Amino acid sequence: MNTSEKNEIIQLFENQYNEKVETFEMLPPSGSSREYCRLRNQNRSVIGALNTDVKENTAFLSFSNHFKMNDLPVPEIYAVSSDLKKYLQEDLGNTTLFNFLSRTREKEGFSENIILEYKKVLQTLPKIQIVAGKELDYSVCYPRAAFDKQSMMWDLNYFKYYFLKLAKIHFDEQALEDDFQLFTNFLLSASSGFFMYRDFQSRNVMLKEGEVYFIDYQGGRQGALQYDLASLLYDGKADIPESVRSQLFQFYLSELKKYMTVDEGQFAVYFKGFVLIRIMQAMGAYGFRGFYEKKEHFLKSIPYALKNLKFLLKDIKLPVELPELFKVMQLLVHSEELKKIGQVETNLTVRVISFSYKKGIPDDPSGNGGGHVFDCRAINNPGKFVEYKELTGKDLAVQEFLEQKSEIGIFLNSVKMLVDQSVKTYLERGFTNLSVNFGCTGGQHRSVYSAEKIAEHLRNNFPVNVVLIHREQQF
């Protein structure tokens, strides 16, 4: 976002509310070209969006208004620029379902607390698909009004050219093309005409004050019910245990029956088919972003997709014969080269440490005596409040405090720029050690949170070994 675009979004805020913007914070980039920022003053906090794709914005804004009219939990749209490239929407915080899952799973495993949140999502999904989908203006859909044969073939060819070929998986192209035709014909025989979210996964669900909210549905179109359910339950990095996946599948069916009659056997057969095409679509994206664009984060998602695919192949039974497609799938799950992807092969170890300044800056056991030391004491301190004193930066309540009531996001964005520059140079020059230290008063809240976030950022974006230490907390 350049200075002119930033100023235009600030002006949109100030025109809408007749108030000055006091803080402007760019949010971390997503997998798309859209850019988001948070604008705040003492009265309110809103999210600003910049997207030069006007057709995509038109779909999102139209869907948002329709969903709001049907009392669905989506962000409210406050203002839209005259060129339709910028808009302001409700600030739903920073906690996605995936964030919550990751934090909670670390302490509790895939617990009932996580399952409860998924059930909240699945209670709302049929209402989005059926009730809100009935009178939706599908003429604004972009790039297609339905998940039709052309859409499916786009996904399958994306998988073929950006995953299979780049992963060097051998196949008979004509035989595979013939199977693609049969496979898509089978999927198209499923009952459709419902709203299909298209990218219904844990990073597109927000959690705020005990409620779930839905974002990033601009790619929505008409389609089968099974696709969105497959997207959520086979979301790669969410890594839902199979027993839980089966439980949630049955829960969805029970909710769906409140809106329509369901043939469970037929639904399940089509469901497996849509799981397969969703995994293939995801692999195409991982191949393009990972193999082609060399983005480490996407390569690390491949083992999760292979794990889901391997489990699916154990009992999938489709009423069409697809010999070349299933031969290719078996080659994928047994590929020794693909199994190595996501495993770190590097000599660079980055030690990320949280500490208390009262006990001094941590020693560097590598003997280099260098690295980064970041002072978190300028950040609003949750430790000053009684309800957070016994908690740490790994606890959800503390994380929400820092994300909503401090400028930790601005601070860490600056940190990432500096640390990323060092990591890239260290990798190029073959260095073996780098330290990144975060200090605060007690080494309990702000420094722990910062160390956790930077460690996660490094693991997702660079082929480095990350050692995370919370010196004062002994974990």
The pLDDT value recorded for residue 56 is 96
Which residue, 75, 90, 105, sits at the end of a domain?
A: 90
Which residue, 297, 317, 340, sits at the end of a domain?
A: 340
Please give the share of the chain, as a percent, with pLDDT higher than 70: 98
The answer to whether residue 328 is domain-embedded is yes
- The tens digit of pLDDT for each residue in 122-140 reads 999 999 999 888 889 999 9
Give the lowest-confidence range in 88-97, 259-268, 419-428: 419-428
The answer to whether residue 457 is domain-embedded is yes
pLDDT above 80 (res 12): yes
The pLDDT value recorded for residue 133 is 85
- The tens digit of pLDDT for each residue in 160-199 reads 999 999 999 999 999 999 999 999 999 999 999 999 999 9
pLDDT above 90 (res 275): yes
Predicted structure pTM score: 0.77
Residue 70 sits in the same domain as residue 203: no
Indicate the pLDDT class of residue 298, thresholds 50, 70 and 90. confident
Residue 268 sits in the same domain as residue 283: yes
Give the lowest-confidence range in 31-40, 370-379, 385-394: 31-40
- How does 416-453 read in b/e, with b if 16+ C-beta sit within 10 Å? beebeebbeebbeeebebbbbbbbbbbbbbbbbbbbbb
Residue 210 sits in the same domain as residue 295: yes
For 146-170, what is the mean pLDDT?
Answer: 95
- The tens digit of pLDDT for each residue in 307-348 reads 899 999 998 999 999 999 999 999 999 988 887 775 545 678
The pLDDT value recorded for residue 432 is 86
What's the Cα-to-Cα distance from 460 to each of 149, 296, 454, rounded to whole Å?
34, 7, 10
The answer to whether residue 475 is domain-embedded is no
For the ranges 98-107, 222-231, 416-425, the one whose mean pLDDT is highest: 222-231
Q: How many domains does the chain have?
A: 3
The answer to whether residue 309 is domain-embedded is yes
Residue 255 sits in the same domain as residue 120: yes
The pLDDT value recorded for residue 264 is 96
Indicate the pLDDT class of residue 301, thresholds 50, 70 and 90. confident
What residues make up the domain containing 29? Answer: 3-90
Reduced 3-state DSSP string for the chain: CCHHHHHHHHHHHHHHHCCCCCEEEECCCCCCCCEEEEEECCCCEEEEEECCCHHHHHHHHHHHHHHHHCCCCCCCEEEECCCCCEEEEECCCCCEHHHHHHHHHHHHCCCHHHHHHHHHHHHHHHHHHHHCCCCCCHHHCCCCCECCHHHHHHHHHHHHHHHHCCCCCCCCHHHHHHHHHHHHHHHHCCCCCEEECCCCCHHHEEEECCEEEECCCCCCEEECHHHHHHHHHCCHHHCCCHHHHHHHHHHHHHHHCCCCCCCHHHHHHHHHHHHHHHHHHHHHHHHHHHHHCCCHHHHCCHHHHHHHHHHHHHHCCCCCCCHHHHHHHHHHHCCHHHHHCCCCCCCCEEEEEEEEHHHCCCCCCCCCCCCEEEECCCCCCHHHCHHHCCCCCCCHHHHHHHHHHCCHHHHHHHHHHHHHHHHHHHHHHCCCEEEEEEEECCCCCHHHHHHHHHHHHHHHHCCCEEEEEECCCCC
The pLDDT value recorded for residue 346 is 63
The pLDDT value recorded for residue 251 is 98
Indicate the pLDDT class of residue 291, thresholds 50, 70 and 90. confident
Which residue, 314, 340, 366, sits at the end of a domain?
A: 340
- The tens digit of pLDDT for each residue in 235-258 reads 988 889 989 999 999 999 999 999
The answer to whether residue 220 is domain-embedded is yes
Give the lowest-confidence range in 28-32, 66-70, 95-99: 28-32
Residue 262 sits in the same domain as residue 394: no
Q: What is the mean pLDDT of the chain?
A: 92
Residue 306 sits in the same domain as residue 328: yes
Residue 321 sits in the same domain as residue 209: yes
The pLDDT value recorded for residue 342 is 57
